[in-house]
Chains A and B, each alone.
Chain A
């Protein structure tokens, strides 16, 4: 029961991106197309899940004075693993993601979950928490990328969708500011439904 709540909570009610406003930094720029957004989402799920797992396993041995450094090393190592695999097996996508893979390190969600959850919980709980937060993050990326690709390029995953109906691409959607405005609108809708989150 607790486990499933831990899992579903970060997906909507306590979504790390739109409720806690964490981890937007590194990733909105990869939302121009769906494919890189999905890969970025998966990478973040992997990193949050395993950094939570590893830090939870290590939680009793880590000297508190160098806690932050140890966390950074674990996270950075996992990110390098992801980056190396992408370069080897998904070269095209890795080019599109460029430096943003490296920026998963400074993604506040990863650090935030390790610090707030993994250090005080059992490995399995921490792992589930990491996966759930990663998915919560990936969801937002994919929603944003869906709208940007659909209206900016008239395609979805590279397949023509709108173009065949004579849709003229709106290049503005491809510019960075539109990603911010879409996130703003998502927050708006989300808070209209979850009224308890609204600020007075």
Chain B
């Protein structure tokens, strides 16, 4: 389980290994503060939706799960995204009602999360790993947490670097997204040192 956690957080990092959540990653990584907020929101949604989708996968979508001979596997995309969208909506409503201050900090990011590939990707990878790395709800929570924190880590590090880079002489055409991509690539190479860790 620790292996799964480390693996999903550092080695198979959502950003560096799979490019998931790149859109908001590039767009929101201009300041550390907002990056922290978005990262927290993504991690939270991921910890909740991956296990939810795991249960859905086990008890509804898997072959013969609902009834003998019924294979609803083809519906998984639509159900996963529905769960994610509904969950994000729910969180938004709850947070708005009970903690307006948190809503003001987090609120603007929540709609962005529904279409964050990292979340959907987490659920789809979870579905592929069922039966091998992930065998129960606990595993799926750990996987969601690890992937979420990995994404969080990546965006905060990126934001920190971009705050510094403001003071550097980057070629005009490379400013903004161009240099962000190249930095991400270099960070990805750095993260490759984690590969091969076995706990």
Residues of A at under 8 Å CB distance from B?
18, 21-29, 68-69, 72-73, 76-77, 79-80, 83-84, 98-99, 102-103, 105-108, 111, 175-181, 183-185, 187-192, 195, 198-200
Contacts and interface: CB of A to CB of B under 8 A. Distances in A.
B32 interface: no
Nearest to A191: B173
Contacts of B125: 99
Interface stretch (B35-43, B98-106, B137-145, B178-186): B178-186
Contacts of B115: 106, 108, 111
A177 B18 contact: no
11 contacts: A21-B26, A26-B117, A73-B78, A99-B125, A103-B20, A103-B121, A180-B19, A180-B188, A187-B181, A188-B171, A190-B173
B185 A181 contact: yes
Nearest to B187: A177
Contact of B177 (A21, A26, A28, A106): A21
Contacts of A72: 81-82, 85, 114
Contact of A106 (B116, B128, B178): B116
Query: Which label, helix, strand, loop or mixed, suits the secondary structure of the B interface?
Result: helix
Interface in B139-193: 171-182, 184-189, 192
A173 to B, nearest CB: 12
A106 B117 contact: yes
Nearest to B112: A108
A192 B159 CA distance: 25
A8 to B, nearest CB: 22
A79 B80 CA distance: 13
